[in-house]
Amino acid sequence: GSDGYVAKRFFDVGRGPDMVSIRDNSQYLELDAIRLVYTKFFIKTFYEVCVRSNFKDFARVTRFRLAREVIPPNGQPSIASDVSLQQLAKAPSGMHIMWLVEPRRNTQTTRWSGTMAHPRHSSLAGNTVTALAHMVYGMSNKTMVLADLQSTFSGFSFKSQFRCTNLPLAYHEFSVSGLGDHGQEGVDCFLREHFCGPVCEQLQVEAWIKDLDNADPQEDDTLGAPEDGGDALNPAQSLHAAPKEPRSLTPSTADGHAGVQSPRTATSSGA
């Protein structure tokens, strides 16, 4: 597009800068892509409820593609990849230099929640994001919440529009969604700190979750596959199948609390 794109890779997964193998980068980019698929699916379901309550659809998950770097014959990996030809030759069979490609966006973002922080908001947008996180908890059978949600404004009209720009940290009781997943601790943190604001109340989120609890499991398709065309992808199945590999993550107090450092990415942009 005319606005260009940004290609992302990991350069720190908790072992220090530039200590990321080709395998690590590929694995964690795939898990981040699964998180985005999850978020897109949940937002679609969330706005089906919003429409019934006369709320406008104003949120979008950033578009993305997982891309493999193509190395021409007798060529070298790109400088941006920070991978040498020797490292690539030693990589496991079938492993490639991977990138997560997204549209280039405004660098000024609004942060709605932290890695382990779920503050109250006074704005309509903030309360809507909070209600989304609450409904995700219900839609995932009380096993997942979204955290570290950020957005950038893409325009103004009679309704505010924003895109989720960060890779949402999906806290899951199985702790397998990728770097930054705090498992049940993250879910418990959300339950302690979440406050139902006006949007939660108008959408009757608590009652909606209770209805899900009482639904027949054989008829409940809350976690069904997104209808995006092509081969259907059930995000729940993808997450449960993800490799559960323990990682030593670096503690951080950047958000004013002890927590886990969010994975860091290097970017390469183009028009």
Note down pLDDT in tens along the chain; length 271 residues: 457 888 988 888 777 777 888 998 998 898 888 888 888 888 888 888 777 766 665 667 778 899 999 998 889 999 999 899 988 988 888 889 999 998 887 667 778 888 788 999 988 888 888 898 898 888 888 888 888 887 776 543 333 334 444 445 555 544 456 666 777 888 888 889 999 999 999 888 888 888 877 776 555 444 443 444 333 333 333 333 333 332 222 222 222 222 223 334 454 545 3
Domains and CATH numbers, the chain: 5-217 (3.20.200.10)
According to DSSP, residue 25 is labeled H
Q: Is the Cα dihedral 203, 209, 215, 221 positive or negative?
A: positive
For β-strands 110-111 and 144-147, DSSP reports them as unpaired
| SS3 label, residue 269 | strand
pTM, two decimals, is: 0.66
Q: What does the block give as tokens for 139?
A: 């839609």
Helical axes 22-52 vs 124-139, angle rounded to 10°: 110
| SS3 label, residue 182 | coil
